[in-house]
Structure 1
């Protein structure tokens, strides 16, 4: 009798923990939806506020810059506060910022309403990864984190078309309010279903900073920058590549972008299993598979049917790569998870920015087809960062090795 009661309680605990992971996934989606959703409405913002399109683009670039700056600073500073309270606090800031964005007629106020929440973005996402990992047993950590990454992919995939549709059907203000509504729903489900999570033993900020003394951490940071540069440097110009090289119409290009995003979410689900059972071999082989896809795209980019297949494969690899980069940094600093996740967010944003800049130079100097050479360059650089770390730490340092 007591044994059966214990089993029921244990099943309830597991179900509750999995529910927490799903709530965190939606919360991350609500944050990324705010960050990425405006990309599709930049021309409307330019017209509405009477500013140039490059000025309107500041609400995206300054957001990313704020995330990159705050990533290694704010998560460890707030790591000692009850995690539920901090996540609710961050969601509250995003709600207020999006409401202000919807009602303001001043572009400077819009920029402030966007940038201020961006500084708190790494706090929520860092805690989401940490809490997801802590909510499940050791063997399911990678799967739990992969589920949270689905929220990242969904924010990127669904945010842009849904926001554009709302802005076209209603108005720019309603599109901004859509962000606030999603944030509000995330706030409510967090309040209702996430238990209080006080932090028992918070390491000091100085102790957390000490992980930067490890060469493995810096190699991991380099690998994240280069791997993100390899994926997002090329992805930033995918629409232009498909138009100029593959000669697709804009409607078909939109479908291809959505297809990439959907494949990205599939990649997140696959990554959880791979990193649970075959972490080291997955990490070692990943850059070579990605580089092979880029070589095929460079050769067959003018043919539409092969490109559809390769975009699906590339999208899956993009989802797997996001999980690998987060895993790689946290595995180097398991004693400071919030700080490690903050560094991951900063490194990922830097990789995206640097990758887009370098790949843009390849397009300017050689033409659109050769954007893939920029991606291949970053793949080579990522190998130069990954393998020395493996040699330094050895196979035993990887938490979930092949079994």
Structure 2
């Protein structure tokens, strides 16, 4: 392969951004309900079906695709996304739209997992984590930039226009891959599921520990707009502007996380849980003071972005011989944790009030710290770059 690895990296980064934009329709649930003439609850299920499918399929789909030519795999998956998006744009049946949304989500873990694996393979020695971080940045930007664009197009125009921009960015990714990406062979044979690793104490404890991270973060992240409205009295365009700034801080956090892991991986993993939990406690204590609240939420934005790197790094350290599987498990944990955090947070808000999200978010991160300290500090589990 003679292609410039930097060019390949940025093509994959743009593709990761594009393939992540279907997650951005969370901001147009009311427009979806109106377009399909259905309830908000059904529209919510339609939106969340993408995340739930990724959480399930991330456990096995990447392994199934690991033996195939990388370019052919990327082109095939992006073609499925393009066809699915066309069907979603023009159908008036939410059942048909759901079928194609779930269909594309089935192949999402294979694309992201193999993109992460390819980036590590083509990276110059010593720059592996930087290359991985770029793909994670693409995922992060796809959600953060995609959300206001999709929401704006859906609100100003309609659902079909919002979905058309998602189709356009996915089509651009497909064209870039077809024209510029070289043929890269897959593995000689597909990985067998490493059941011995999956049954190991390290894997089980590490997976439980890092699952606590997206649950705790999601409890707070998904309900902080509601908190800002009912407690801090931040509304309308001010709320939108602040959440966009939060997103920019989160992108910076993803970049920062990659740098810190490459330099001090163990310290970064353990200290992260304590700092993030501490921020939640401070938000609980200073909830009635607007400026401290805004500063603390922006700090959480940086930490939230770092979480992508930490979860991927820990999982790839636990399953070092099967990178596609490790990256697939990373996607399952991330999306499964987000879904659980949303569900738990909704129960907490209904049952105990909005302030409870900070206490329970901190408790989940404390559990993550205890488990990860045990496997890293006491069991001495080896990490990839240690």
TM range (shorter): over 0.9
1:51-79 deviation digits (Å, cap 9, x = unpaired): 00010111222111111111111110111
Whether 1:156 and 2:143 are equivalent positions in the alignment is yes
Whether 1:170 and 2:154 are equivalent positions in the alignment is no
TM-aligned CA distance change 1:169 to 1:82, over 3 Å:
same
Q: Is the 8 A contact 1:143 1:271 kept in 2?
A: no
How far apart are the structure 2 equivalents of 1:160 and 1:200? 36
Q: Is the 8 A contact 2:191 2:322 kept in 1?
A: no
How far apart are the structure 2 equivalents of 1:355 and 1:245? 21
TM-aligned CA distance change 1:175 to 1:218, over 3 Å:
same
Match of 1:93 among 80, 103, 117: 80
Q: Residues 70-219 of structure 1 correspond to what in structure 2 (within 5 A)? A: 70-206=57-193, 208-219=194-205
Whether 1:329 and 2:315 are equivalent positions in the alignment is yes
TM-fit CA distance, 1:320: 0.9
How far apart are the structure 2 equivalents of 1:210 and 1:137? 31
Q: Is the 8 A contact 1:360 1:371 kept in 2?
A: no
How far apart are the structure 2 equivalents of 1:76 and 1:210? 16
TM-score in terms of structure 2 length:
0.96
How far apart are the structure 2 equivalents of 1:75 and 1:232? 25
Whether 1:20 and 2:5 are equivalent positions in the alignment is no
Q: Is the 8 A contact 1:141 1:276 kept in 2?
A: no
User: Which stretch has the larger CA shift, 62-71 or 354-363?
Assistant: 354-363
1:163-206 deviation digits (Å, cap 9, x = unpaired): 12222333321211111110010111112222211024335324
User: Which stretch has the larger CA shift, 60-69 or 316-325?
Assistant: 60-69
Query: Please, which runs of 5 or more residues in structure 1 have no aligned partner?
Result: 1-11
Q: Secondary structure at the match of 1:205?
A: coil
TM-aligned CA distance change 1:209 to 1:202, over 3 Å:
farther
CA RMSD of aligned residues (A): 1.7
Q: Is the 8 A contact 2:68 2:187 kept in 1?
A: no
Match of 1:59 among 46, 67, 83: 46
Match of 1:346 among 308, 316, 332: 332
1:292-322 deviation digits (Å, cap 9, x = unpaired): 1111111112222112211221111111111
Partner of 1:223: 209
Partner of 2:239: 253
The runs of at least 4 aligned residues of structure 1 exceeding 4 Å deviation read none
Partner of 1:269: 255
TM-score in terms of structure 1 length:
0.92
Partner of 2:19: 31
Equivalenced residue count is: 386
How far apart are the structure 2 equivalents of 1:184 and 1:391? 46
Q: Secondary structure at the match of 2:123?
A: coil
Partner of 1:3: none
How far apart are the structure 2 equivalents of 1:275 and 1:363? 34
Partner of 1:9: none
How far apart are the structure 1 equivalents of 2:245 and 2:328? 29
Partner of 1:372: 358
Q: Secondary structure at the match of 1:72?
A: coil
Q: Is the 8 A contact 2:250 2:302 kept in 1?
A: yes
Partner of 1:315: 301
How far apart are the structure 2 equivalents of 1:293 and 1:391? 24
Partner of 1:8: none
Match of 2:349 among 363, 367, 372: 363
User: Which stretch has the larger CA shift, 353-362 or 24-33?
Assistant: 353-362
